[in-house]
Structure 1
Amino acid sequence: MCFADEAGQGLRPPKARTWSRRGATPVVRVSGKGSGRISLAAMVCCRPAARTRLVYRMLVRHPHRRGEKTGFKESDLAALLDAAHQQLGRRPVVLVWDNSTQHTDRAVRELLGKRRWLTVFRLPSYAPDPNPAEGVWAHLKKSLANLASCSTDQLAAHTRTRLKRMQDRPALLDGFIAGTGLVLTSLQAPP
């Protein structure tokens, strides 16, 4: 079972609280240059008797570059699905994602129909509570808080590092699933 979601991050960092000496308010200086942005798509994948995995893709959008992708297209979503299928041992995949308009258009429906190993369930349009991928984004944004990146490439490098750290912590990913309140049990036949 795979839970998928998309997110993005700009050069302006998320705000967070921090410690400082009394009377010395810390200031994070952010360059006003550019409007670069990174777009992210991730899947939290779990199956019985296997460690939970995080599969993600990132698109970097630099400011003032014409013809550059502005977000995930159908081919990018297909690459993410195929990568998850490969990492899960080419077994059938149950995909759970929101009912966003980009997930319901004709091109995506055709793309999903070509993958016989894929079964899709949709959450309501905006339902962050039952989706563990939202926990990934919350954890990522918290780790990027007050980090003033100078360029989109630097932001992408920081983001990639933090996502790779999450990939190496299956217990953290299990915590994102537990945080949704979902109880995933294996459907095994009794002995």
Structure 2
Amino acid sequence: MSIVRYSNPRANHGDSGAEVLVQGASVCADVAMLDSPKRKGTTWAPQGSTPVMEVTGKRFSLNMISALCAQGEFRFMVHEGAVTAIVFREFLSRLMPGASGPVFLVLDGHPVHKARLVQEFVKAQKGRLKLFYLPPYSPHQNPDEQVWAHVKRSVSRRLVQSKDDMKRLAIGALRRIQKLPALVKSFFRNPECQYASM
């Protein structure tokens, strides 16, 4: 992930066109859990009949990690089970190969984000990855929270009968976000998130 800026072509070498300057990217990341939805909302039935929605009564959950930048790039990973330092390090290792410059990763203060294993991985990147932490109790400053609201809203509109259903719906919602850079950019328009788009 990188910030790409186009300089004024007239200020360059005559007719060489826009020169691309690659700089460090501000990337926001977060971890979220999606659990089996509680049925709420509205539905319909023929007049005189009470609408009935059948549910399994089973509880299941899924963990997701994502990272996004103000240029519209979005990466994600879905994981069954707890997100540990090992899982988060794996996500970071998948994130780094796509970076053409240093990555400044903005995270909340979750213990996994500060784990020794993660810090060792960051150190091994030799300055290509730097972690910055949001103040406590400030999820509203992380644009990634809007990703989770979008995914949870999308999944809650569907009937989820199994963990596989939930995983399929979550991955579908995350892939839709990934294919819509304009939507990803819109997550940074909140005044409290604009710091990350500079």
What TM-score does the superposition give when structure 1 sets the normalisation length? 0.78
Q: May I ask how many residue pairs the two structures share in their alignment?
A: 170
* Counterparts in 2 of 1:38 and 1:180: CA distance versus 1, 3 Å: farther
Say if 2:27 and 2:106, in contact at 8 Å, map to a contact too.
yes
Deviation at 1:14, TM superposition (A): 5.1
| 1:140 aligned residue | 151
User: Could you report, residue by residue, the CA deviation over 1:54-79 in whole angstroms, capped at 9, with x for unpaired residues?
Assistant: 1111112xxxxxxxxx3122232222
8 Å CA contact 1:55, 1:80 repeated in 2: no
| Residues 69-80 of structure 1 aligned to structure 2 (within 5 Å) | 70-80=81-91
Q: What are the equivalent positions in structure 2 for 1:12-91 lying under 5 Å apart?
A: 13=37, 16-18=40-42, 20=44, 26-33=51-58, 35-46=59-70, 51-60=71-80, 70-88=81-99, 90-91=100-101
C-alpha distance in 1 between matches for 2:48 and 2:117: 56
* Residue 38 of structure 1: how far off its partner (Å): 0.7
Measured in 1, the distance between the counterparts of 2:125 and 2:51 equals: 51
Q: CA RMSD in A?
A: 2.2
The answer to whether the Cα contact below 8 Å between 2:28 and 2:196 also exists between their aligned partners in 1 is no
Residue 115 of structure 1, CA deviation: 1.8
Indicate the structure (1 or 2) with the bigger Cα radius of gyration: 2
Instruction: Work out whether residues 14 and 144 of structure 1, in 8 Å CA contact, stay in contact via their aligned partners in 2.
Output: no
Residue 95 (str. 1) matches residue 105 (str. 2): yes
Q: Using the TM superposition, give the Cα deviation of residue 150 of structure 1 relative to its aligned residue in structure 2, in angstroms.
A: 1.6
- Secondary structure class of the residue paired with 2:189: helix
Equivalent pairs: percent with the same residue?
A: 28
TM-score (norm 2): 0.75
Counterpart check, 1:156 vs 2:176:
no
Question: Is the CA contact 2:66–2:74 (under 8 Å) kept in the aligned structure 1?
Answer: yes
